[in-house]
Amino acid sequence: MKTWTSLKEDQPVVMKMIERMIKDDRMAHAYLLHGDPGTGKQAIALHLAMRIFCKSPHGAEPCKTCTDCRRVESGNHPDLHWLKPEGASIKKEQIQDLQREFTYQGLESNKKVYVIENSDKMTTNAANRLLKFLEEPSRETTAILLTDNQYRLLDTIRSRCQLLALRPLSPKALEAALINEGISPHNARLFQAIAPQLEQAKALDQDTWFADARKLMVQLVSMLHSRSNESLFFVEKQWMEHFKDREQLKIGLNLLLHWFKDLIYIQIEDNASLVMLDYKEQLEQQAFRYTKQQLTTILETITHAVRKLDQNVHPTLVMEQLTLQMQR
């Protein structure tokens, strides 16, 4: 379980808002935590619930040692209700059952908390039922709604919640989250550089297209050294066959960009910044075949190629021009 301190590092703005509300004793009756997958919505909801029930808080932080904190953390607190979709959606009956629970007095105190994960997956009937619940809040009841996309919720539900927007994961935090999901450290380093969101980055681990794209990139940079006169033919016959549209080609250019950045990192002995960790030996072999000025020029040409794609220049023409420039 994440600590309060680590949550403050990952989400400083949201955690500061929560701490200020607790300190000023102006807690809202409903919160809507929204942000990309992996940004800590569940962990923040858990800590917030823990702080609400905690018998011996340290300022804004729960003590984590009292009976209530331990029961919240273990999922066994009788006055904390955690709702998740049943199948593809959260159904009206689930909200009805929740409301029924809240007609009874709390077993441990007068306080009650409910957390709704993937709240945007409520059916229309469930959302309307929840809206009535939110319109008649009890001072001792706290709702915490979690969603990856707040705009899928009814405007009337959003307007009755304190909105807490979670920022995207930093590259370091995204890499750590990927490793925690069982992805190898080498792949985690690459995936966080290619895909900015956790679910996108995780998907790369099972994506055979991306695995082939990485191999083609390595083939191209090797060919630029050993058989430079064949590289243009390779691009026309194999590279463009794989990178069939603009978005796919941008991924290929992104891989190339990180390869040549890594060559600079090798030259300046900054191994901590390397992205292509699986190819460190090849990078070391290539690094000093270029001057820093040559590498800087190549990075500029790759960046310029991406801009050309955004300007609707034909993808094949963009790639052919880039290959010729990298040959020089």
Residue 133: what pLDDT? Answer: 84
Question: Is residue 43 a contact partner of residue 29, using CB atoms and an 8 Å limit?
Answer: no
Q: From CA 256, how far away is CA 306, in angstroms rounded?
A: 11
For residue 97, CA distances in Å to 77, 153, 201 come to: 17, 20, 37
Give 10-residue mean pLDDT values along the chain (328 residues): 82 93 92 90 94 92 93 92 92 91 69 94 94 80 93 93 90 88 94 87 93 96 85 93 94 96 96 95 92 94 93 93 87
Residue 255: what pLDDT? Answer: 97
Q: From CA 123, how far away is CA 153, in angstroms rounded?
A: 10
CATH number 1.10.3720.10 is the correct assignment for the domain at 4-168 = no
Residue 212: what pLDDT? Answer: 97
61 phi, psi to nearest 5 deg: -95, 140
Q: Render the burial of 19-43: b for 16+ CB within 10 Å, e for the rest.
A: bebbeeeeebbbbbbbbbebbbbbb
**Of 327, 268, 255, 266, residue with least CA distance to 298:** 327
- Which of the four CATH numbers 3.10.530, 1.10.1200, 1.10.3470, 1.20.272 does domain 207-327 have? 1.20.272
Q: From CA 69, how far away is CA 201, in angstroms rounded?
A: 33
- Which residue's entry shows tokens 């920022």? 167
User: Cα-atom radius of gyration of the chain, to the nearest Å?
Assistant: 26
Beta bridge partners of 254: none
Task: Sketch the domain layout of the chain as residue ranges.
Answer: 4-168, 207-327
| Beta-sheet strand order (sheet of 141-147) | 80-83, 112-116, 141-147, 30-34, 162-165
Q: Encoding tokens for residue 27?
A: 């807690």
Q: Do domains 4-168 and 207-327 have the same CATH topology?
A: no
For residue 103, CA distances in Å to 18, 179, 189, 214, 224 come to: 27, 43, 50, 57, 72
Which residue intervals of the chain are DSSP H helices? Answer: 4-10, 12-23, 41-53, 67-74, 92-101, 124-135, 155-158, 171-180, 185-194, 198-204, 208-226, 231-234, 240-242, 246-267, 280-287, 292-310, 315-327
**Distance from the Cα of residue 321 to its chain's centroid:** 34
pTM of the entire predicted model: 0.69
Q: Encoding tokens for residue 164?
A: 């807490």
Beta bridge partners of 122: 90
138 phi, psi to nearest 5 deg: -95, 145
